[in-house]
Chain A
């Protein structure tokens, strides 16, 4: 064996680098953002991702990215970055989900379960029987409100598309959707069918 063939392991352990000088301040601001906005951020992300767990992960990841970001550390700017980072990550996650082949139906089914799991005192959940109650409440709405809600929630149509479909104004579609949600809220909080309708008349 030629002598120059003998390997010379030249391992110099490289310890992980220390935090940057302003790392501590940055970390404090990010911590505060976390305390103040995490609930809102997770809510917003759940809308997009239809998964509480994914939303929590993306929120968490966003703080991590924010810590890493080489930008001026003004709190208001960081908040804007936080929401932008989260929104971009959510889009990535939706793409990844296509790659990972979680079907839309499977995602919905998971969400359905997540909604009843009380793992976080700050997160609102529903009792399993309330989930069914919501759908029965929706059946008490006027046919056009039902139709509008169905097209929006299940078919994923935009307000504009529904307006065209139902031959009404966008304003009317929004009114139907908002009232459908409010009606279920009121019914869930104990109002009878008549009481709920009465309150919505105001």
Chain B
């Protein structure tokens, strides 16, 4: 259309699109309005196009404050205050970022009362078991843990994959979980540990645990509704809020990710899929993904990712590669 004179119909459409945009912005949650708008979009495919153009201008526009018009008072305090409050809010709530040293911690003293046991699951199969102390573990697909119990300690190593622990209370015998660089101490609580090649995700659904790196200087508490992500490249831990229902939703075949690098998601999905999912492109691998994947529908999900990320799915042999598009 560039350069050509718009017809009356074009101008009408343009006006309608702008009007919809203003109205939708003015009432963000108005369902009836959204339905009416959708109907308008369906009337003619050019309607949505025109709407998107208007939207583009809307988002691109970031005008500086114009000089106040003489007969009108300057901005009301209310509006200014709101803007300020927002900034203060974002400023105050700074990201909790704690540096924790890495390294595996010392092996338990090997005594005669020691009990060593390993538990594992196959690709695409989960399982559960009761540990010797009555604690319960549920294991995600393609996962392995090793337990080493002594009279004074319950020690578990998450070697690969994911495990959800429902810990039996025994204050005299701490429940320690090593997840590669991160140690979790629990008394009576329920929490999930997921170990990927470059990160460990610990989420608590009940009670509280304490996190510890190699330097025992700072123990970090993690309570129900919190999730800690330990990055083994940067040796940092980021703590975020999480819905307790989502902590171990994988047990029902629902895999939830929150701002997780695509590469890590791919690695995780591979545990539930008969073909390994790989991303070799570093940029793509670092893109954050937030969303839900059903472990029984991973194929569909990968297809759907093509519309969310600039990627294409290449299937070859027993591998599925997610490659940059174009």
User: With a CB–CB cut-off of 8 A, which chain A residues contact B295?
Assistant: 16
Contact with B along A149-161 (1 / 0, CB 8 A): 1111111111101
Tell which of A47, A108, A153 touches B55, judged by Cβ atoms closer than 8 Å.
Answer: A47
Interface residues of B in 1-54 (CB under 8 A from A): 1-4, 6, 8, 11, 14-15, 17-19, 21-26, 28-29, 31, 34-35, 37-38, 41, 48-49, 51-54
B239 to chain A, nearest CB (A): 10
Tell which of B3, B65, B67, B139 touches A154, judged by Cβ atoms closer than 8 Å.
Answer: B65
Residues B117 and A9 in contact, CB atoms below 8 Å apart = yes
Residues A174 and B22 in contact, CB atoms below 8 Å apart = yes
Contact with B along A90-109 (1 / 0, CB 8 A): 01010010111111100010
Of the four ranges (under 10, 10 to 19, 20 to 34, 35 or more), the interface on chain B belongs to 35 or more
Interface residues of A in 1-40 (CB under 8 A from B): 1, 5-7, 9-19, 27, 34, 37-40
Task: Indicate whether B292 reaches chain A with its CB closer than 8 angstroms.
Answer: yes
User: With a CB–CB cut-off of 8 A, which chain B residues contact A47?
Assistant: 21, 24-25, 28, 55
Is chain A's binding surface mostly helix, strand, loop or mixed?
helix
Residues B18 and A178 in contact, CB atoms below 8 Å apart = yes
Once A17-B296, A65-B292, A99-B93 are accepted as A-B contacts, the answer to whether A131 and B60 lie under 8 Å apart by CB is yes
Residues B95 and A101 in contact, CB atoms below 8 Å apart = yes
When C-beta atoms are compared, the residue in chain B nearest to A83 turns out to be: B34
- Assembly CA distance A54 to B3 (angstroms): 34
B43 to chain A, nearest CB (A): 12
Task: Indicate whether B207 reaches chain A with its CB closer than 8 angstroms.
Answer: no
Interface residues of A in 114-163 (CB under 8 A from B): 115, 119-120, 123-126, 130-131, 134-135, 138-139, 143-144, 146-147, 149-159, 161
Residues B25 and A18 in contact, CB atoms below 8 Å apart = no
Residues A185 and B54 in contact, CB atoms below 8 Å apart = yes
- A sample of 5 more A-B contacts (CB under 8 A), given A101-B93, A104-B90, is A6-B132, A57-B289, A138-B63, A155-B75, A174-B23
A24 to chain B, nearest CB (A): 12
- Assembly CA distance A5 to B294 (angstroms): 37
Residues B90 and A103 in contact, CB atoms below 8 Å apart = yes
Most buried by A among B66, B67, B69, B115: B66
Residues B2 and A190 in contact, CB atoms below 8 Å apart = yes
B277 to chain A, nearest CB (A): 16
Most buried by A among B76, B115, B290: B290
Contact with A along B237-265 (1 / 0, CB 8 A): 00011000000000001000011000000
Once A13-B126, A83-B38, A115-B59 are accepted as A-B contacts, the answer to whether A165 and B75 lie under 8 Å apart by CB is yes
Task: Indicate whether B152 reaches chain A with its CB closer than 8 angstroms.
Answer: no
Interface residues of A in 151-193 (CB under 8 A from B): 151-159, 161, 164-167, 174, 177-179, 181-182, 184-186, 188-190
